[in-house]
Amino acid sequence: MNHTFLSRQKRRFAAPLGLLALGLLFAPATRGQTILGSTGSYGVMAGSTVTINGTTTITGDLGRASIAGTGSLTLNGSQAVISSQNQADFTRAYTGLGAMTSTSDLSGQGLGGLTLTPGVYSFTSTAQLTGTLTLDAQNLANAVWVFQIGSTLTTAANASVVFINQAADSVTNNGLFWQVGTTTSVGANSSLEGNFLGGTTFTLGIGATINHGRALTGTTGTITLGGNTIDFGDANSGYSGGLAFDGAGNSISAVPEPSTYGLLTGMAMLGVVMLRRRPRHV
């Protein structure tokens, strides 16, 4: 056996494996920000009409087919008629979220008083929040919650969503999505979190806020604002991470945590070592 040939072959395979290991080590952990596509710059987006009542502040862009109402608006962003690309990206994200496999069926239960760890939570029809919903991130770097609601989401006045046990950079890396079949109705002075993707009608009561998130509807959906504050944090951030589309398809899955990348890196490095230590055969 030509030992020089074997040595060259080992070097030939060791270099690509080493590069693979480095690529895995430095692979981004925030790819999930892209599932919103071109809608990620919007704090509020409606396929049809946005109606503004009261005094409303939006941090992020405002997208709509038309605008109505007699209220005043402070917009920390730009305003535009939504495009066909916006509609397509909304539909892709909305459909993909709805198709994710549920890890817990909460149908018939109220969200108030619950403490929920990351997962996909489904409701066959309606979901109700009275009081406080606590989301426990368990110090995970890419904590994700998806709520799939068959028809209507309703929150009582003064309802709230709060986070506990968050890892660093949670606003960028974590994901919180509410996928609502038809109507979202938010009670007065509620303080909510995350990205709300609604099917038809979205109404916020007086003084209600959405922190680190958005209110988005597609096709003929409408949004009515009643003197609210909506702050998405920054374009493509605001608890919109942690999820990614599978390749070029429409299926959504969770982004691996950095610890997973570390495991894959270790496996790749082990492969390099084993290749170098492979016994020579004459």
Name 154's bridge partners. 128, 185
Q: What is the pLDDT of residues 106-126, one digit of tens each?
A: 999 999 999 999 999 999 999
Higher pLDDT, 266 or 49: 49
Higher pLDDT, 117 or 172: 117
Higher pLDDT, 104 or 234: 104
Q: Where are the domains of the chain?
A: 13-28+257-276, 32-254
pTM comes to 0.82
CB count in 10 Å sphere of residue 72? 12
Which residues make Cβ contacts (< 8 Å) with residue 233, sequence separation at least 6?
Answer: 59, 171, 212, 213, 239
Kindly report which listed range (131-145, 203-217, 252-266) carries the lowest average pLDDT score: 252-266
User: 279 pLDDT exceeds 70?
Assistant: no
CA angle 123, 180, 31 (to 5 degrees): 100
**The dihedral sign for the CA sequence 258, 260, 264, 270:** positive
Which residues make Cβ contacts (< 8 Å) with residue 121, sequence separation at least 6?
Answer: 102, 103, 104, 105, 106, 145, 146, 147, 148
- Whole-angstrom Cα distance, residue 213 to residue 60? 10
State the average pLDDT over residues 12-28.
40
Q: If you average pLDDT over every residue of the chain, what do you get?
A: 85
Q: What is the pLDDT of residues 82-105, one digit of tens each?
A: 999 999 999 999 999 999 999 999
User: 20 pLDDT exceeds 70?
Assistant: no
Higher pLDDT, 1 or 201: 201
Res 21: pLDDT: 39
- Whole-angstrom Cα distance, residue 154 to residue 23? 44
Res 248: pLDDT: 75
Q: What percent of the chain has pLDDT over 70?
A: 79
